[in-house]
């Protein structure tokens, strides 16, 4: 991990920002302000500071010539294109869109009416401008962080005075009324912990993305500014071309879970199209094993060895079957976080008479995956049979169901909620197997639960609190922890029921612990 970071901070003078993601009146608010917006504010600051300067400018004992800020901005745009910054921004909430009617700049027409003798003529020509501020709820400073390796750090040290001078020349970020001031410095990792706010991580799928500068953004901005100044030259309006040199990078709060693609199935009886095949809740791992077996069989049949193929033999072994790397033991090492399917049998819960039996299942990709494997398995396992390991008989048939189907019912929504049903409180329905011995000590247990979160791809920042106990929270789940069947390699590890309270509502599906891929540690929203 990099120990040094370039940090540019911008503080709003009022607790709001009016930046938008587009030009239209209905464009959504932009929060946090994009790296490109920061870059533009720095360019404007530099232009104002160096405008008309014939010679070097003295700043805090350092002499800067006009070549220096240009070189620094070029370096910064390249840095952004390689490493978009992490953004630490205060929590914020959008306000209402309120149309204001502001005077149009047509005072000459009113004055002409006065000159004609109509002394009562008023400034009636108004234009609509819709205000929809983003209210800052926990502070007024936004920080942009770039990690620096040794080479980048040397370059950053070279450009630091110019970058700091430009950051300190920022006068607004967003609209003109969003007055702000900036600062820049190189900080070590210890200092970053003191930066208050929510962390926005680049490159994690989220909507919508933020614009970031790339190589030649400065040149494009310069050309656009020139065109803007000439747009009404000699009284003739010439449209200003839009900015083209930028990239759009997906950003997501560290406390938000990325989307987790999944395929959903109803477990039908082997010979019928209606009703359900039901399995006892304590047999969750057995149902998961049958699902995995069906998936592996389908994957082996569908292996594609063409050069651009993604359904390779390795994908079949590692992603679908969950094995270790080729040539090694089938069992994965503890630190092997290669992506793989999780097979999640779902217990019928959420109703006073629900019996906790398994009638449905999900097969989920890891958080933030592209979803192509889920789409494949949904199609490939349609009508596939689940075969009992011991009796070798068909015990169920899989019927895929899409989230927008009526059959994607209340029980499915408890495990994979629609966006409007997303919840902050999730509790385990099958026991969570801790990835180590807790020695019956609370502190150790909590540490192991945090480790479970990390293994499951859930940022600890996303979780507000964790509760662990022996009894399940759902009323219909009465089995003791030891009643649940487990594969041999998990039998020696401690099992608990877990309740997670997230900072923000999440949709699922969620599974936690060492058995998270084989039906144990499945969570439902409360």
Contact criterion met (CB below 8 Å) for 148 and 5: yes
Least CB distance to another protein at residue 121 (A): 8
Residue of the chain from 27, 71, 82, 93 that contacts another protein (CB under 8 A) = 93
Contact criterion met (CB below 8 Å) for 324 and 336: yes
Closest CA to 175 of 118, 134, 213: 134
For residue 506, is the peptide bond before it cis, meaning its omega torsion is within 30 degrees of 0?
A: no
Q: Give me the 179-218 binding string for another protein, x by CB under 8 A, dash otherwise.
A: x-xxx-----------------------------------
Task: Scan residues 212-251 and list those touching another protein (CB under 8 A).
Answer: 228-229, 231-232, 234-236
Contact criterion met (CB below 8 Å) for 324 and 332: yes
Angle made by CA atoms 494, 322, 432, in degrees to the nearest 5 = 20
- In a 10 Å sphere around its CB, with 0-12 CB exposed, 13-18 middle and 19+ buried, how is residue 336 labelled? middle
Contact criterion met (CB below 8 Å) for 442 and 469: no
Q: If you search the block for the tokens 């390779």, which residue do you land on? A: 312
Least CB distance to another protein at residue 131 (A): 8
Please give the backbone phi and psi of residue 371, each rounded to the nearest 5 degrees, phi first. Answer: 90, 0
Please identify, using beta-carbon distances, which residue of 175 and 408 lies nearer to another protein: 175
Please identify, using beta-carbon distances, which residue of 97 and 309 lies nearer to another protein: 97
Please identify, using beta-carbon distances, which residue of 138 and 275 lies nearer to another protein: 138
Residue of the chain from 169, 212, 369, 511 that contacts another protein (CB under 8 A) = 169
Least CB distance to another protein at residue 182 (A): 7
CA gyration radius for the chain? Answer: 29
DSSP 281: G
Least CB distance to another protein at residue 13 (A): 4
Residue 90: CB atoms within 10 Å = 21
Cross-strand pairs, 89: 198
Please identify, using beta-carbon distances, which residue of 117 and 326 lies nearer to another protein: 117
Least CB distance to another protein at residue 257 (A): 20
Q: If you search the block for the tokens 């877990």, which residue do you land on? A: 498
Least CB distance to another protein at residue 17 (A): 13
How many residues bind another protein (CB under 8 A)? The answer is 66
Q: Give me the 37-76 binding string for another protein, x by CB under 8 A, dash otherwise.
A: --------x--xx-xxx-----xx----------------
Please identify, using beta-carbon distances, which residue of 128 and 353 lies nearer to another protein: 128
Task: Scan residues 97-156 and list those touching another protein (CB under 8 A).
Answer: 97-103, 105-112, 114-119, 123, 128, 130-131, 133, 135, 137-138, 141
Task: Scan residues 387-426 and list those touching another protein (CB under 8 A).
Answer: none
Binding segment (CB under 8 A) for another protein, from list 142-150, 168-176, 458-466, 490-498? 168-176
Contact criterion met (CB below 8 Å) for 247 and 211: yes
Kind plus residue range of the DSSP H or E element containing 101: strand 98-103
Binding segment (CB under 8 A) for another protein, from list 165-173, 320-328, 483-491, 505-513? 165-173
β-pairing, 522-525 with 126-131?
A: unpaired
Angle made by CA atoms 469, 489, 397, in degrees to the nearest 5 = 85
Contact positions vs another protein (CB under 8 A): 11, 13-15, 25-26, 45, 48-49, 51-53, 59-60, 91, 93, 95-103, 105-112, 114-119, 123, 128, 130-131, 133, 135, 137-138, 141, 168-172, 176-177, 179, 181-183, 228-229, 231-232, 234-236
């Amino acid at each position: 991990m990099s120990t040094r970071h370039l940090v540019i901070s911008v503080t709003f003078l009022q607790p709001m920002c009016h930046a938008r993601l587009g030009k239209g009146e209905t464009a959504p608010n932009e929060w946090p302000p994009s790296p490109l917006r920061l870059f533009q504010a720095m360019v404007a600051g530099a232009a104002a500071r160096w405008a008309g300067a014939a010679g070097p400018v003295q700043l805090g004992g350092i002499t800067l010539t006009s070549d220096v800020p240009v070189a620094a901005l070029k370096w910064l745009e390249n840095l952004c294109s390689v490493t978009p910054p992490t953004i630490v921004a205060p929590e914020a909430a959008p306000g209402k869109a309120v149309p204001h009617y502001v005077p149009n700049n047509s005072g000459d027409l009113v004055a002409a009416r006065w000159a004609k003798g109509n002394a009562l003529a008023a400034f009636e020509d108004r234009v609509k401008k819709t205000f929809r501020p983003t209210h800052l709820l926990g502070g007024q400073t936004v920080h942009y962080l770039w990690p620096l390796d040794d080479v980048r750090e040397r370059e950053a040290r070279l450009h630091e005075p110019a970058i700091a001078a430009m950051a300190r020349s920022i006068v607004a970020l967003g609209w003109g009324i969003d007055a702000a001031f900036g600062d820049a410095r190189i900080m070590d990792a210890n200092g970053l912990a003191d930066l208050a706010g929510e962390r926005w991580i680049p490159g994690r799928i989220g909507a919508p993305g933020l614009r970031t500068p790339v190589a030649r953004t400065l040149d494009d901005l310069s050309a656009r500014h020139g065109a803007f100044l000439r747009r009404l030259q000699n009284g003739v309006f010439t449209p200003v071309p839009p900015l083209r040199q930028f990239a759009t990078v997906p950003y997501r709060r560290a406390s938000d879970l990325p989307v987790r693609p999944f395929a959903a199935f109803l477990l039908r009886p082997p010979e019928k199209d209606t009703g359900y095949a039901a399995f006892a809740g304590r047999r969750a791992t057995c149902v998961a094993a049958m699902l995995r077996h069906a998936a592996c069989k389908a994957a082996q049949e569908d292996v594609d060895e063409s050069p651009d193929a993604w359904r390779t033999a390795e994908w079949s072994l590692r992603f679908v079957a969950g094995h270790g790397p080729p040539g090694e033991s089938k069992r994965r090492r503890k630190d092997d976080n290669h992506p793989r399917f999780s097979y999640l049998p779902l217990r019928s819960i959420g109703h006073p008479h629900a019996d906790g039996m398994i009638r449905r299942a999900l097969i989920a990709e890891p958080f933030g995956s592209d979803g192509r494997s889920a789409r494949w398995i949904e199609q490939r396992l349609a009508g596939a049979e689940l075969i009992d390991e011991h009796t070798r008989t068909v015990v169920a048939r899989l019927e895929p169901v899409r989230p927008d189907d009526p059959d994607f019912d209340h029980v499915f929504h408890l495990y994979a909620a629609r966006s409007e049903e997303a919840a902050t409180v999730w509790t385990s329905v099958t026991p969570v197997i801790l990835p180590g011995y807790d020695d019956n000590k609370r502190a150790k247990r909590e540490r192991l639960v945090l480790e479970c979160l990390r293994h499951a791809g859930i940022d600890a920042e996303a979780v507000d609190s964790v509760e662990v106990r022996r009894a399940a929270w759902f009323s219909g789940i009465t089995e003791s922890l030891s009643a649940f069947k487990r594969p041999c390699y998990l039998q020696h590890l401690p099992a608990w029921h877990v309740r997670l309270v997230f900072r923000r509502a999440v949709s699922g599906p969620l599974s936690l612990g060492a058995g998270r891929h084989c039906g144990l540690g499945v969570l439902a929203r409360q």
